[in-house]
Amino acid sequence: MKKVLIVTYHWPPMGGGGVQRWLKMVKYIREYGWEPVIFTAKDAEVSLSDPELLKELPENIETHKVPIWEPFDLYKKLIGKGKNEKIQPGLLNESDKKGWKDELVLWVRGNVFIPDAKMFWIKPSVDYLSNYLNENKIDAIISSGPPHTTHMIANKIKKEFNIPWLADFRDPWTFVDYYDQLKISKWADKKHHKLEASVLKNADKTVTVTWSWAEDFNKKKIKKVGVVTNGYDPQDFEKATGAVPNKFGITHIGSMNKDRNPAILWLVLRRLSDSIEGFKEALEIRLIGPVDFQIFKSIEENKLNDFLHHTAYKGHKEVINDLLDSALQLLPINNTANLMGVVPGKLFEYIGSRRPILCIGTKIGDAARIIKETNSGKVFDYNEESELEDYLRTAFEDFKKGTLKSTSSDYARFSRKNLAGEIANHLNEIIA
């Protein structure tokens, strides 16, 4: 069996969407003739923890861990958090009190920590892997980012050992939606682009998770870019214990930042709660994951606090049960410049739940494409207020009658097993 070295920062017992992609690939890729060898961080800063995921690891997976130093202790001191407190992932704001310290943190993130705050892991990782590869045969390397530090590690290993390399971009680098928020200087911007160009040039193939992002990468005139979407694992739903919804629950899982605020939804829900008999008694707004304060503010302004159920984090197993207990799955798309290629990983879990998806965003983006092709829900533009209201009226009537169901089809192509086969095909291509 051929061996592939997978360089990933996100790995159990970490939780969150970044872990799922390669945990599930590892679960199935042996069936396609590839034996995974995992390289990951030891003692990483864990903002989300899900020890249950350790149970999903296949037996006898060779795993290597190298200690990582991350500047989070310094960051916590700067913003006044205790050493043992968790920090919000991404660029979510916990309050409306944003001062110079927050601005400084953003500037340091974009201009000092290049490519990211995991950069101090590069040298010890390269040293460790160089010693390992001098004594062990590996047929291919996969790096999964962000953090893009993983690509920098693989790039150096590629230059030293010339092992075929597949670079996996779960999110873009210089055209990611929050890039402009990092207050990047001209010098730092040049360095980010230079490092990114080196990775794209030296990787034998690049894959990303959406077709629009693949087109964006192709504009950089590099080797052909492949698309391997995220997906869902049918076994997760077969084992689940979620019940038939008894509430008109509208559920969102994962981070909800200010760019994902479905403002028209809160307006419409307020209107319906005031005008439809029984709506108030049935409605639940379920937000599972970190939420920007501006979202809470919008919900409060529309007098929906009594319907809000927020949980900062749940393990993947619990989330699956919640999805099965939901009437509608909420998918707001980032209202940003690169919105066409935004396909949150949660979309595929939603598809797997076989509950109708309520998507608010662009009707011509990649997420809308998947929803339409699988017939798994409805998509509304950010300003389609009356159309959204009509849909929710009908959905609520169907819910009361017990007929609110997904009519999804052609969803099996997004199973994790099928996607592992696609990765295996790319690996076979680069070693040929």
- DSSP states along 227-266: E----B-HHHHHS--PPPP-SEEEEEES-B-GGG--HHHH
Give the domains, in start order, of the chain with CATH numbers: 2-231+416-431 (3.40.50.2000), 234-412 (3.40.50.2000)
- pTM, 2 dp: 0.91
Q: Of 302, 293, 294, which Cα lies nearest the Cα of 268?
A: 302
Burial bucket for residue 33 (CB in 10 Å: 0-12, 13-18, 19+): exposed
8 A C-beta contact, residue 209 and residue 229: yes
Residue-level pLDDT at 24: 96
Residue-level pLDDT at 88: 54
CB neighbours of residue 331 within 10 Å: 25
In our burial notation (b when 16+ CB lie closer than 10 A, e otherwise), range 60-79 reads eeeeeebebbbbbeebbeee
Secondary structure of residue 268 in the 3-state scheme: helix
Q: What is the token pair recorded at 395? A: 């959905």
**Rounded distance between C-alpha atoms, residue 118 and residue 125, angstroms:** 11
Q: What is the token pair recorded at 378? A: 């409805």
DSSP notation for 179-229? GGGG---HHHHHHHHHHHHHHHHHSSEEEESSHHHHHHHHTT--SPEEE--
Residue-level pLDDT at 311: 95
Containing H/E element for 374? helix 366-374
**Rounded distance between C-alpha atoms, residue 7 and residue 230, angstroms:** 18
Amino acid identity, residue 59? E
- Angle at the Cα of 413 (from 208 to 10), degrees rounded to 5? 40
Q: Which residues contact 194 (CB under 8 A, 6 or more apart)?
A: none
- In the chain, % helix, strand, coil (3-state, to 5) comes to 45, 15, 35
Per-residue pLDDT in tens (0 to 9) along the chain, 432 residues? 999 999 999 999 998 888 999 999 999 999 999 999 999 999 887 778 899 999 999 889 999 999 999 886 666 655 566 555 555 555 445 555 566 677 777 788 888 999 999 999 999 999 999 999 999 999 999 999 999 999 999 999 999 999 999 999 999 999 888 888 788 999 999 999 999 999 999 999 999 999 999 999 998 878 789 999 999 999 999 877 666 678 999 999 999 988 899 999 999 999 999 999 999 999 999 999 999 999 999 999 999 999 999 998 899 999 999 999 999 999 999 888 778 999 999 999 999 999 999 999 999 999 999 999 999 999 999 999 999 999 999 999 999 999 998 888 888 899 999 999 999 999 999 999
- Helices 293-301 and 263-275: angle between axes, nearest 10 degrees: 30
**What are phi and psi for residue 416, nearest 5 degrees?**
-60, -35
